[in-house]
Structure formats: structure tokens, C-alpha cells
Amino acid sequence: MEKMREQLVAWGTDIETFRLPRWEELPDLELYMDQVITLIDRYLSPIIQGEKHPLLTSSMVNNYVKQGLIPAPIKKRYNKRHVAFLIAITTLKQVLTIPEIKDGILFQGKVIGIREAYNLFCEEQEAAIHLISQQAQGKEQAPLILNQTMAVEMIAVKTATLSFALKLLAEKTIMLETDYLKEEKPNE
């Protein structure tokens, strides 16, 4: 059990400084699909477990274009807007359906604009990851949703990013519990 606790603390420490690139930090270059997929994987693989790979495939990207989640590429090239959409979609699809993600993106884009919505998503996701990092390390923390009124336009993004983070914590803990049970079996 102590080994399990140590592994959870180490994982919490590893993800404590997780950060997503803000709009201004996304590449200004036009990228081909394989470059975009590599970039998304690099940004998200520190938090999404290895068995979830591939995080993004060319088929997924093509489907997102067909479904209207992301704009069509221009001459088979993708820009920072595409990358921002794909970071959010790849993360949120872990806890929401594609139609829910599409509605959320359309809503946030209309209310505060795509750039601001993407940066807000990054801030909220990082805060949620930091929260579970603290939990994994056994550190004291604030309640999940503070006792304050949340603006109605913020509820979905806050709860979706928190749901994703809590799912990561649950998956990591279950993986450690499974490993613990496998190790204990020979000793029975």
C-alpha cells in the first residue's frame, strides 16, 4: 500500500506543473496534418495515459471537419485555430460527447470569442489538473467548486475541465490498485 501511495505522489508531482500553450504561444506556421497530430500528442501526453494513444488520428481530424467542429484546412494545412480546437476537443472528448463539445465551442466562441475561449479553457484545465495533483500528493486544498456563484456561461467549461481532471485521477488510482492486486496475488 505504501508503494501505491508513493507512486500516486510521484504522479501528482509530475503533473503539478502541467501547462497548455496559450493562443499566443501556438505555432503561427501552417502545418500538415501529421505535424498537427504530433504537436497535439506532445501537448497532451503528459496528462493522458499511454494506453489512450493515439490521442488523435487523421481520421478523427477529418471527421471533426465533416462534423463542423473545426474549420476545413486551407490547402491541406492547419493553423493555430485548428490546433487550439484540436487540443480542446482531444481533451474534452474524454468526458463529453462530440455534439456537446461542438455546442460548447460554438457557445464560448460566440460569447467571448475563439481566442479568449481557448485561453479560458487552458486556464481552467490547468487549475483542475493542479487540483488533482494536490489531491494525489495528499496536500490540503480548496473544495472542488468554491462556495461562490459561478457565472452561467462558465459552468460548462469549469465542470468539464474538472470532470476530465477527476477522471485522470480515478484512472491513475485504479491502475495503481490493479497493479497492487497483481503483486499481492502470488502472496495469497
Q: Which residue has the cell 490493479?
A: 178
Strand, helix or coil at 2?
A: helix
Per-residue confidence (pLDDT) for residue 18, from 0 to 100: 96
Using only C-alpha atoms, what is the Rg of the chain?
A: 18
Measured distance CA(67)–CA(61) in Å, rounded: 10
pLDDT tens for the chain, 188 residues long, are 889 999 999 999 999 999 999 999 999 899 999 999 999 999 998 898 656 567 899 999 999 999 999 999 999 999 999 999 999 999 999 999 999 999 999 999 999 999 999 999 999 999 999 999 999 998 876 666 655 677 888 889 999 999 999 999 999 999 999 988 888 766 55
Which pLDDT score is estimated for 119?
A: 96
